Structure 1
Amino acid sequence: MTPPVFTISLDFELLWGIFDKVGNNVNKEYFLKTRKVIPQLLELFAQNEIQVTWATVGMLFAENEEEWHHYSPLHKPSYRNKNYSAYEWKKQHGLEPDLHFAPDLIKRILETPGQEIGSHTFAHFYTLIRGQSPDQFRMDLQAAQKIAGEKFGIQLKSLVFPRNHLNHQYLAICGEEGFDQVRGNPKNWFWQETQHGSLLKRLSRTADCFVPMGSQTSYPWEEVEKEGESEPWMMPASRLLRPYYGSNNLINTLRLNRIFQEMTHSAKHGQIYHLWWHPHNFGHYPEDSMRELSKILQHFHKLKSRYGMLSLSMKELGTLKTVHSQQTEIIPSQKTEIISVK
């Protein structure tokens, strides 16, 4: 049997994650709180020896507008609806350091043990929106790799598609541009084709945070797979940690209990449980959100002690999966043997 795994991936965006939704109505205080909570997150992860993948929008690596221009790709996404373009948004609204750049926070992440900087594309690129092209997506990924390499000396290995717009036709491009693993969507029907946000899908996704609306969200190691030999490992998400619901203790308790139950099921059955959220989700109620996360990590430690559950970033999970797949190819009779992990 393979060990149970707890994986966390964060979509690190600041304003780049919601620019097309807010227009002129930017709540700057919300993002200032987000910037303050990130060092607290890092401290909590370090104290609990939790590995995390920070899927970071490439534009956040820039120090200022001049650097932003320097690293932006020549061919930008040609969405039919220009409101989806970060570049068009900038033309109308300009750039502000606290909302659009975060090299200081990226440095803090890299200095914290167990943390991986991944990619959320360079410009929060929507791969399922009409008008953009595969070549534009490739240039976007190249820009993300270039700014990460030249500024911080790292190669990005894990990718999260913005808005969970998972375009299977683009996976080969991801592999060719250096990405070894990609976060996939949960396999339930209401997480498929997320660009078509029907009311029923949204309601089902929300309800599923409290009561089961689909199949079990954790999954066996066999479901970390490649669609093609040169493509990245696909690592489905299990659960979105939704924001803290104000003073509604019942809703908050139901949310956490759902996660605890799913984590326990994963640990008992040697499966993978992949939790994700956005750091800015902690912006409205930072103290309460951090308290909830501490409870989740405490539950992980109980499962680690009882079932040997591991905390692995997407990169480390991909490395372990690669080792396992190579062993099973060479020695088919050892497919069910435990991989020793130090």
Structure 2
Amino acid sequence: MPLGTLTISLDFELLWGIFDKVGTSYEPSYFRNTRDIVPDMLQKFAKAGVQVTWATVGMLFAENEEEWRAFSPSFLPSYRDRKYSAYEWIKKHGIRPEVHFAPELIQQILETPGQELGSHSYAHYYTLMRGQSPEQFRQDLQATQKIAKDKFGVKLESLVFPRNHINELYLGICVEEGYQYVRGNPKNWFWQETQHENLSKKFFRSADCFFQVGTRTSYDLEEVKIFENEPIIIPASRILRPVIKGNVLMNSRRLGRILHEMEFAAKHGEVYHLWWHPHNFGKDPIASLKELDQILGLYKKLNETYGMQSLHMKGIGELVEKRKLIEM
């Protein structure tokens, strides 16, 4: 039986990930907390021997507004609804370095053992929004690769589509621009076609974090397929939702669900792919880091008892590629 595998991917965005939802109404301490806890998270991952893919918005790589503009593509996304454009938001509200840039944190990610720096597009690009085009998406990916190479000397290979908007027509572009591995959505129906939201999907997604609603979330590595001229799609299993302040019962239920699923994956030799946004820890950093300690503590036990391994997205992708070579 194959070894169980814990995969973690993080959508590292700061304000770029939610500007279209919160505008200027965000609480500054929320992102200050996020910046403060990233080094703590890195330290905990390294100590536990846990590999993580940090899917990072390319704009965070910039040092200042001048650098941000220099690396931005010439062909900007032309969404019909302009509120989804990071560039339009900046025109109205301006740059705020503390929530828009984080090169020092990216450097720490690169210096921490077992961490993979991935992409969340350059401008938190929505590939399923009306008005944008394949060439605009291509230039967005090119901008991310250029700033990663010029500033940090790295090539990014793993990509997470913002808002989980996976445009299958764009998968070939991902490969052409260097992305070999892409995070897919969980297999349950309420995680499909996330651009078409409704109350039913939202309800079931929330309920499934606390109770068994959909099918099991872990999966056999054999389920991950390779298709010509497409990146390897590595499905997600579950999002670690933020701590609910003052609700001990619901927090316990939510975390317990994750711990149970991790143990199931370890015992049955399956992949369990957990993801979240670092800023999800911003509302209650202390409680959030305690939950992370519990997850990492269980991983160490599962590693010792069942041989469970930790692999980031690139690591999973390489396993799939190796399996394909053996079959050939």
Q: TM-score, normalised by structure 1?
A: 0.95
Give how far 1:67 is off: 0.5
Q: Residue type of the partner of 1:301? A: K
Q: Residue type matched to 1:258 in 2?
A: R
SS of 2:249 mapped into structure 1: helix
CA distance in 2, matches of 1:162, 1:2: 31
Instruction: Map 1:76-225 to 2 at 5 A.
Output: 76-225=76-225
Task: State the Cα distance separating 1:2 from its structure 2 match.
Answer: 2.4
1:69 partner letter = R
What pairs up with 1:15-30 in 2 under 5 angstroms?
A: 15-30=15-30
> How far does the alpha carbon of each residue in 1:222-272 deviate from its partner, in whole angstroms, 9 at most, with x for none?
12223x312111000000000001121100110111001111111111110
Give the counterpart letter for 2:129 in structure 1: I
Over the matched positions of the two proteins, sequence identity in percent amounts to 60
1:78-128 Cα offsets, whole Å, 9 max, x none, are 000000000000000000111000000000111110001000000000001
Q: Which residue of 1 aligns with 2:293?
A: 294
Give the superposition deviation at 1:26: 2.4
In 1, distance between residues paired with 2:310 and 2:265?
A: 13
Look up the SS of the partner of 2:79 in the other structure.
coil
Structure 1 Cα separation of the partners of residues 99 and 129 of structure 2: 24
CA distance in 2 between partners of 1:247 and 1:26 (Å): 21
* TM-score computed with the length of structure 2 as normaliser: 0.99
One-letter code of the match for 1:19? F
Deviation at 1:185?
0.1
Q: Does 1:267 align with 2:270?
A: no
1:29 maps to amino acid:
S
Aligned residue number for residue 70 of structure 2 = 70
> In the alignment, which residue of structure 2 is the partner of 1:278?
277
AA of the residue aligned to 2:172: A
1:111-166 per-residue CA deviation (whole Å, 9 max, x = no partner) reads 11000100000000000110001111011000000000010000000000000001
Aligned to 1:318: 317
The alignment of Structure 1 onto Structure 2 pairs a total of residues equal to 328
Partners of 1:30 and 1:107 lie apart in 2 by 22
Whole-angstrom distance in 1 between the partners of 2:246 and 2:223: 38
How big is the shift at 1:318? 1.0
Separation in 2 of the partners of 1:116 and 1:270?
Answer: 23
Q: Matched residue of 2:10: which SS?
A: strand
Q: Point out where structure 2 has 5 or more consecutive residues left out of the alignment.
A: none
Distance in 2 between residues matched to 1:267 and 1:49, nearest whole Å: 16
Task: Please give the per-residue CA displacement for 1:280-307, whole angstroms capped at 9, x wherever unaligned.
Answer: 0000100100000100111111111111
**CA displacement at 1:187 relative to structure 2:** 0.8
> Structure 2 CA distance, aligned partners of 1:50 and 1:211?
27
Moved over 2 A (4+): none
Q: What is the RMSD computed on CA atoms of the aligned residues? A: 0.8
